[in-house]
Amino acid sequence: MNPPDDDQLRELLPRLRRFAVSLTQSPSDADDLVQSTLEKAISHWQRRRPGGDLRAWLFSILYRQFIDSRRRAGRYARLMQLFTGEPQTSASAEDIVVANATWEAFDRLPPEHRALLMLVSVEGLSYREVSKTLDIPMGTVMSRLSRARRSLRELDEGEPREKRPAPSLRRLK
Amino acid sequence: MNPNRPTEQDLHAYLDDQLDAERRQWVSTWLQANPERAAELEAWRRDTQHLRARYANPEQWPANASLDPAAIRRRQRAGQRRWLATAAMLVMTLGIGLTGGWTVRDMMNPASPPPMADAVQAYRLFTDSVSFDGNTAIDGNTTINGNTAIDGNSVVGVSDTAVPEPGANSREKIVKLFQAHFSDGIMPPDLSAAGLEMTDARLLATDQGPAAMVVYRDRTGRQMMMYIRPPGVGHHMLEPGKRVDGQLMAQYWSKGNYNYAVVSQPDDPNAAMLEEMLRES
């Protein structure tokens, strides 16, 4: 296996940053995430599947790093709560997003839905590639995609799901 | 599932252009006949286009030099060097600590003498200076408890009894000496049948209590010695062993409340016999 090709990585850098921003919703956090992704990719270059899609491989590292950091943050928050007896006062990025109604509907989706829509709609990955990248079964990709698109619609229209009649399309499955 | 209607999965795949041409055509035809579903799909398409527009042209975002792969690899190498330097420093510190600690330990606890060194010293001191045939002024009447000097060179700290000559009388005195000071110890055996006579017996003082030596001499004048003493500091018992110290060999072991040694010339066959008799007693 060849050593990391800097040009290949540089070429994919804007897409990685874009995916990272969609997940972290903060440009500086996104760049931190991209940096840790590239560090991991360079040091784990030997483990890369020969002939595999470099972009999908990098996206999968980035997504795992993001999920791991969220878990760590969650554990930290629980630990702090244990010591202080109070919920953490500094809200997570997620809470801020949800609270801020002026933000776009997409930003108010859960990160799992944002990741899926970014990879399918913006990056144009096939469902199978998305399944591998996010490490979820194909069935989950399809059901999550359906939920993500419907949630996005509802948020965009400002209507909570409960008030809407169940779409007839759901009965087709 | 109604085969005449596309599934939800078909509709998403249609939107994402992930259907083959034939199925795509079929869904397209179906949508024309189902405007409500078509409208929903159209809304999803607008959302998708909106999302694409929002995240278009990321290559035009302000560059961040720290994300350049070459810079990241440089930082990784520097990090590894720092890590190695830290590890080397830790190893060195540990080494200095261990060496220093060991040196201090050695300084505080001087090397312990080899096992039963006192027995070998006693042999050297008394078998050389005092021999049965020697001309030293041995008082034939010296008793076990007597402090009468064997000769003018009697060693300070040694309460001794010299047995001037072999015989029943000497044997009796030695038995008394052992009974008085080593009541549960092993008596020196009578080896006269093997041509070995007891020529000297002495009570010695050690930090841990009384010790004693008994010298045997064969017909050729060769001498060997039985030595008994209390265990060392901390009731230190000896692993059975032997060692050669200069021209002498010491065989040693522990039994009961005492340490024993047989000190002889290395090639003296009687020493093995004596050791065996003592150990089997």
Q: Is B206 on the interface with A (CB under 8 A)?
A: no
pLDDT tens-digit series, residues B156-211: 344 444 544 455 567 888 888 888 888 888 889 888 888 888 888 888 988 888 99
> The sheet that has B223-229: what strands, in order across it?
B160-161, B197-206, B209-217, B223-229, B258-264, B248-255, B241-245
Q: Residue B146 — very low, low, confident or very high, per pLDDT cuts 50/70/90?
A: very low
**Residues forming beta bridges with residue B249, ordered by sequence position:** B244, B264
Angle at B266 between CA B262 and CA B272, to 5 degrees: 50
Contact call for residues A51 and A70 (beta carbons, < 8 A): no
Mean of pLDDT values over B33-41: 95
Q: Which of these, A20, A63, A61, A21, lies nearest to A42 by C-alpha position? A: A61
Query: Do B42 and B15 contact (CB within 8 A), yes or no?
Result: no
Burial code of A122-153, b = ≥16 C-beta within 10 A, e = fewer? bbebbbebbbbbbebeeeebbebbbbbbbbbb
Is the pLDDT confidence value at A17 over 50? yes
pLDDT of residue B152: 33
Nearest CA in chain B to A120: B16
Of A38, A121, A146, Cβ closest to residue B48: A121
> Quick check: helix, strand or coil at residue B243?
strand
- What's the confidence (pLDDT) of residue B183? 84
More confident call, A62 vs A8? A62
pLDDT for B109 equals 75
The pLDDT of residue B145: 38
Sign of CA dihedral B156, B223, B203, B273: positive
- Structure pTM? 0.55
**Closest alpha carbon within chain B to A148:** B44
- Beta strands, E only, B183-247: 197-206, 209-217, 223-229, 241-245
Structure confidence at residue B128 (pLDDT): 60
> Residue B45 pLDDT > 60, yes or no?
yes
Question: A23-36 pLDDT, tens per residue?
Answer: 999 999 999 999 99
Give the closest of A9, A17, A173 to B8, CB-based.
A173
Q: What is the domain partition of chain B in residue ranges? A: 8-54, 71-108, 117-280
* Alpha carbon separation from B96 to A85, A124, B111 (Å, rounded): 46, 60, 22
Q: Kind of pairing, strands B209-217 and B241-245?
A: unpaired
Q: How far apart are CA A171 and CA B92, in angstroms?
A: 71
- B117-280 has which fold? Phosphorylase Kinase; domain 1 (3.30.200)
Q: Which two tokens stand for residue B70?
A: 């070459």
* Mutation to test the A interface, candidates B1, B4, B16, most A Cβ within 10 Å: B16
How distant is the Cα of A81 from the closest Cα of chain B, in angstroms? 34
Does residue A56 have a pLDDT over 60?
A: yes
Q: What is the ipTM of this complex?
A: 0.78
CA distance B25 to chain A (A): 19
Asked if pLDDT for residue B35 goes beyond 90, the answer is yes
Please give the DSSP secondary-structure letter assigned to residue B133. Answer: T
To the nearest whole Å, the CA of A126 is away from the closest chain B CA by 7
Q: Which residue of A has its CA nearest to B2?
A: A172
Nearest to B37 among A21, A42, A169 (CB): A169
Nearest to B16 among A35, A104, A120 (CB): A120
Q: What is the pLDDT of residue B92?
A: 93
Q: Please indicate whether, in this complex, the C-beta atoms of A39 and B76 are within 8 angstroms of each other.
A: yes
Task: Read off the tokens for B75.
Answer: 């930082």
Amino acid B168: pLDDT:
53
Cβ contacts of residue A85 below 8 Å, gap of 6+?
Answer: none
Q: Write the residue in A10, A14, A146 that is nearest to B68 by C-beta.
A: A10
Q: What is the pLDDT of residue B125?
A: 85
Which of B:49-108 have CB within 8 Å of A?
51-52, 54-55, 58-59, 61, 64, 66-70, 72-73, 76
Structure tokens at A16: 């990685």
Question: Which residues does chain A have within 8 Å of residue B43's beta carbon, measured at their own beta carbons?
Answer: 153
Most confident residue range from A3-12, B15-24, B121-130: B15-24
Distance from the Cα of B7 to chain A's closest Cα (Å) equals 6
Q: What is the pLDDT of residues B215-272, one digit of tens each?
A: 999 988 899 999 999 987 777 788 889 998 888 999 999 988 899 999 999 888 888 8
Q: Which domains does chain A have, with CATH numbers?
A: 6-157 (1.20.140.160)
Q: What's the pLDDT tens digit per position in B57-107?
A: 999 999 899 999 999 989 988 988 999 999 999 999 999 999 998 888 878
Please report residues of B whose CB lies closer than 8 A to that of A18: 55, 58
Position B154 confidence tier, pLDDT thresholds 50, 70, 90: very low
Q: pLDDT grade, residue B135 (50/70/90)?
A: very low
Residue length of chain A: 173
